[in-house]
Amino acid sequence: MSNLKRNDVLGTINRGNPSESGLCTLCRADCKGKCEVWMSSLKGRKMLYPRDFGDITAGSRNLSPEGVGYHSLRVKGYAYGSEGLPEGVSDSPDDCLYTNVDVETEFGNEIKTKCKVPLMTGALGSTAIAAKYWESLAIGAAVNGFPIVIGENVVGVDREAELENGKVVDAPELDRRIDTYYEFADEDYGGLFIQLNVEDMRNGVAEYIADKHGNDVIIEIKWGQGAKSIGGEIQVDSLDYAKFLRNRGYVVDPDPNVEANEESFKQGGIDGFARHSRLGATDAPSYEELKEQFMEKIDYLRSLGFKRISLKTGAYGMRDLAAAIKLASEAKLDLLTIDGAGGGTGMSPWNMMEHWGVPSLVLHNKAHEYARILDDQGMFVPDLSFAGGFAREDHLFKALALGSPYVKLVCMGRGLMIPSFLGSNIEGVLKPERKEEVNGNWDSLPKTVKDIGETPESMFAGWYDVVDHVGEDRMDELPFGAVALWNLVDKLKGGLQQLMAGSRNFSLETVSRDDLMAANRETEKAVGIEYMGEADDEKAKEILIG
C-alpha cells in the first residue's frame, strides 16, 4: 500500500494521511482540496490522465506492493480478442472502442433493478452529515441512474417524527429523503434502499413505509458494516437532544438522565453524548435459531407487501459470512452487500476500525468461494455487492472481477460523499443566500477551485451534460453537489470502460477473476489468483511451442 500524499502526475494532494482507497483517513466536509476524488468532482474524466499534456512525460511508480489488499491486485490487458460485445457492436476496430463498453448492470431475484453504472452508495442514515448533504447525494444518484441507501435510525432520531404507542405515524425526515430521490429518479434505472435495524423494527418503520411508500423502495435488513462490530452510533452535543433520544428508547452513553452526568455536561467535563443502536440477534445462540428468526422477519416483511429485500452484513468472520450468504440464498433475497473492514461514513470507534474484522480483499474472496459452493450445489445464489475502501475506477474493476459472476454492484461510501461537500461549498459562495440551506463551509473560493474556474459552467466539466440530461429549466433545482457527483461518476465510468476495453471485455458479464493477477506472492497465496510473473504462462508456452 502506498502512503504517498502527493501524486505529481495528476496534480493531487492528500491533506491528511491517505488510506487504501486514496481518500484521507479523515475526510472533512470543509476541505479545500485536492485529493483525486475532490478534483474528479470538478474535472471529471480529465482526471483519468496526467496533467499538462504536451509539456510532460509521465512514468508510473509501479513498485511491488507490500501486504494483501485490493492494491496488491493488477488488471490484465490483452493485445487481441474481444468478448461480451453489446448488441449492434461488431468486433471491428471501428466498433471496439472503449466508449462502446457497456457498464450497465442489474440485480434482483424476481424483480430486476437496472443501473446505468455498477455503483451504489453506502448507507446514509442518522448521521448529521447524511442529513445535511442528502439533496446532493440523492439527486446526484438519481440523475446518474444508480441506487442510494437510506441508513438506519432516520426515524428514531427525527425530533419531528411522531410515534403513537411506540409506532411511527409521521416521519417527515424519512419522507423528505424518499421524495427528494424520486423527484429526479429515472423510472428505468436506479433504486432506493431503506435499512431497518432493531430500533427501526420496534418503532414500526417497516409498517409505515409499506403503508405510505409501498414497493417503490427496497428494504434492507442491517446486520452490520465494515466500520464497526456494534450498533450504529451518532454523537450529540445537546443535553436536551440526548435526553430526547434516551427517552425515545436508545442507549445513550453517558446517560443524560443521570444527575451527575447532567451537571458534568453543564460544567464542561462532558462535552457530548453517544447514541447507540442495539446489537442484533443476541438471543440466537446457534445458526438454527438465527435462521428461524431471520426467516420470520423476511416472511413478515413480505406479508407487508415488500417484493424486494436485501441484507447488509459487515466484516465478521467466516462463520457469519457463510450464514449471511446461506440465509440470503434460502430467503431468495434480491441483494447481499458485504462490507469489508475499513472506513466509515459516520461515527465509529477509531481503534475498532483499525483492528477489528476481516479486510475487504480476504473477506470478498471468501464470499466468492462460498457463493461458488452454493452454486455448485444448484442452490440459488443472491446477487452480491462488495463494499469497503473503494473510490476509484480500478477498484470497481477489481471488485467486479474478483466476485464474478455474482457481484453486480460496488458499494462506495466516503468517496461518493466528497462531491456533495465540494459542490455545497462552492454553491454557498456563489449563491450566499443559499449557504445555510446547502450547508456550505466557505466564505470565498479557494485557489484550488479558482485555478479551474470561477463560474459553475467553467468549474464543472459536466455542467452542460447535466443540462442536456435534466433540461435547462430544472438546473436551478439541482444542488451543485449533484453536478459534482455527475462529474465523479462520469470519471469512474470512463475509467472502468477503459480498463474493460484493455482487458477485451465489452460488457460486465464477461469480466472474471481471470482478468486479475496477484502483484506479490502473499496475495497469490491468500486469494488464489496467479502471481503476475506466472499468469497465463501455460498459454504463452503453447504459443511458443506450437
Model pLDDT for residues 268-308, shown as the tens digit of each residue: 999 999 999 999 999 999 999 999 999 999 999 999 999 99
pLDDT band at 53 (very low <50, low <70, confident <90, very high): confident
Model confidence over 297-309: pLDDT tens digits?
999 999 999 999 9
| Cell representation of residue 437 | 440551506
**Are 419 and 33 a contacting pair, CB within 8 Å?**
no
User: Strands 119-121, 251-253: parallel, antiparallel or unpaired by DSSP?
Assistant: unpaired
Helix (H) or strand (E) holding 375: helix 360-376
CA 91 – CA 93 distance, rounded (Å): 6
CA 326 – CA 344 distance, rounded (Å): 26
What pTM, to 2 d.p., does this model score? 0.95
Say which residues have a Cβ less than 8 Å from residue 509's Cβ, sequence separation at least 6: 84, 405
Q: What is the pLDDT of residue 2?
A: 53
pLDDT over threshold 60, residue 46:
yes
Give the distance between the most distant pair of CA atoms in the chain: 85
| Half-sphere exposure (Cβ direction) of 359: Cα atoms closer than 13 Å | 16
What is the three-class DSSP state of 521? helix
- What are phi and psi for residue 332, nearest 5 degrees? 55, 55
Query: Mean pLDDT over residues 393-402, rounded?
Result: 98
User: Do you find a cis peptide bond into 116, omega within 30 degrees of 0?
Assistant: no
Say which residues have a Cβ less than 8 Å from residue 451's Cβ, sequence separation at least 6: none
pLDDT over threshold 90, residue 73:
yes
pLDDT band at 1 (very low <50, low <70, confident <90, very high): very low
- What does the mean pLDDT of the chain come to? 94
Q: Which residue has the higher pLDDT, 54 or 315?
A: 315
**Are 502 and 75 a contacting pair, CB within 8 Å?**
yes
The identity of residue 215, as a single letter, is: N
| Cell representation of residue 260 | 451527575
Instruction: Indicate the angle between helix axes 463-470 and 134-144, nearest 10 degrees.
Output: 70
Q: What is the pLDDT of residue 352?
A: 87
What is the three-class DSSP state of 51? coil
Query: Mean pLDDT over residues 106-123, rounded?
Result: 97
CA 8 – CA 58 distance, rounded (Å): 9
**Are 154 and 126 a contacting pair, CB within 8 Å?**
yes
**Are 166 and 204 a contacting pair, CB within 8 Å?**
yes
**Are 100 and 542 a contacting pair, CB within 8 Å?**
no
CA 197 – CA 397 distance, rounded (Å): 31
Q: What is the pLDDT of residue 59?
A: 83
**Are 4 and 65 a contacting pair, CB within 8 Å?**
no
Query: Mean pLDDT over residues 468-494, rounded?
Result: 97
- What are phi and psi for residue 102, nearest 5 degrees? -90, 115
